Amino acid sequence: MNNKLRRVAFFVRAYNDLDHLTPLVAEFILKKENPLIVVYTDLDVDNDYRFIYLKSLGNFEIIKEMDMEYVEFSKKRGFFHNLFKKFYLLKRNRKKFIGKIYRKLFFNCAKQIEFLKSNNIGICAFEWSTPYSRGELVEKYFFAAKGIGITTIALPHGCNLFFYPDSNSGYKWTTQKGVIPDESDRNLFDYYIFQNPIRRDHCIKWGQDPIKTQAWGSCRFYPEWSIKNKEICPKFNYKEKSGKKLKVVFMQFQKNYNLKNDLAFDTLKKLSNLENILLTVKDSTREGKEYYDRNKKTNSLGKSLVGWYGNDIHSPALIEWADIVIVVGGSSIGVEVILQEKTLIHPIYLDTNTTLYEYFQAAHCPNSYEELEQLLNSQVKGNNLPKLEGTESLLKEIIYAGKEEFNVPKKYYDELKKINLNYGQIIK
């Protein structure tokens, strides 16, 4: 088979997607495959440090094709905006009458079929979700690819560290009602890739195809990439002298992940009034999903707060600056903390979920604010918290899919370059 017909197209929506896809895209560029990236939202492709790095490696193409309706109705606006959004969602719902009529009369992916053929695309890489969940444009590309026999794959846009699958409020509500979440639409992909076997097992139990759902490890947290990512990431330039104060980063969480939200802010408020620390807060990189609005909450915090940042400051740089990082709600950024050999604290008293941090004993997990403050005070006094033995087990599960160490981006590349799908084969 002519390899020129195996060109890959990556569909990128947001900061997180690019974060997890960049090491794989880099692998294709370095192999002189000239991959294509389709950006269908208002993601900044000119100034993002990951795009700048990829451009330094060699040839690839960026196509900016905005799905204007999807972008607009993904945002929070006022009353009339929400009213129009309801009409949009009715049109997008293929199972309802209006959605069926719209598809019959107006849905057409002939343009996308021609695009994929003319650009010699052999693989379409989308993010985790269903083919219907990211707007009409992505759906057209997906079904165009399926219709002409192009391999379709769903790749991680994040990294799930929850031990039980009912990790957010929606899943928790449906399971309490005795309804198993319907994952069947995800079976439309030829591959649905997870980093780790624990998460893969959850989704199989919810109806995903065990042959199509494969665990290949984490490109984002592959140690060689983590080092490179920290190197190319813009530095966090905190100009004031820290003296003997402890530098602490509090990673904000996504709002619907079964957290004790009021207690979490009470903890943040207490931390901000500790005299022996310098505190920074980092918003969730999934913009619009953070629980606290920094513009409304910053003034209610104490003098130890030295900054509250969004995606203008990057997590690897903040972690490099920090002595201790507090991760709430099972955020995978804790894996980066471990890789940078910084102290990771995951306060379990703020979380009703069980995460792999406590399951593997890979983080310090205080069960009260008092225990959390004791950990900080111990570090202030020079009594460094011990390295936890469970970190190696966590990294093995997340980065290497529970197996021995291997080159993860190369694994993804090799699997995608195979002429045939590997269904029924033993995945090594």
pLDDT value of position 288: 63
How far from the centroid of its chain's Cα atoms is residue 139's Cα? 21
- Tens digits of residue pLDDT in 318-375: 999 999 999 998 889 999 999 999 999 999 999 888 999 999 999 999 999 999 999 9
What residue has token string 């390295």? 387
Report the SS3 class of residue 355.
strand
What residue has token string 């065990």? 210
**Domain 236-397: what homologous superfamily?**
Glycogen Phosphorylase B; (3.40.50.2000)
- Tens digits of residue pLDDT in 253-302: 777 778 888 899 999 999 999 999 999 999 887 766 666 667 777 778 88
Backbone angles phi, psi at 372, to 5 degrees: -60, -45
pLDDT, averaged across the chain: 91
The secondary element (H helix, E strand) that includes residue 229 is helix 223-232
Each domain of the chain, given as residue ranges in start order, spans: 3-225+401-417, 236-397
Asked whether the predicted pLDDT for residue 2 surpasses 70, the reply is no
Domain 3-225+401-417 has CATH 3.30.70.920: no
pLDDT value of position 428: 46
Express as a percent the part of the chain with pLDDT over 90: 72
Any idea what DSSP says for residue 234?
P
What pLDDT band is residue 240 in, cutting at 50, 70 and 90? confident
> In CATH terms, are 3-225+401-417 and 236-397 the same topology?
yes
Strand intervals (E) in 288-398: 305-309, 324-327, 343-345
pLDDT value of position 244: 83
Of 54, 33, 42, 71, residue with least CA distance to 311:
42
Q: What is the CB-side half-sphere exposure of residue 223 using CA atoms within 13 A?
A: 10
Asked whether the predicted pLDDT for residue 30 surpasses 60, the reply is yes
Tokens representing residue 81 in the block:
């905006």
Cα(238)–Cα(97) distance, rounded to whole angstroms? 56
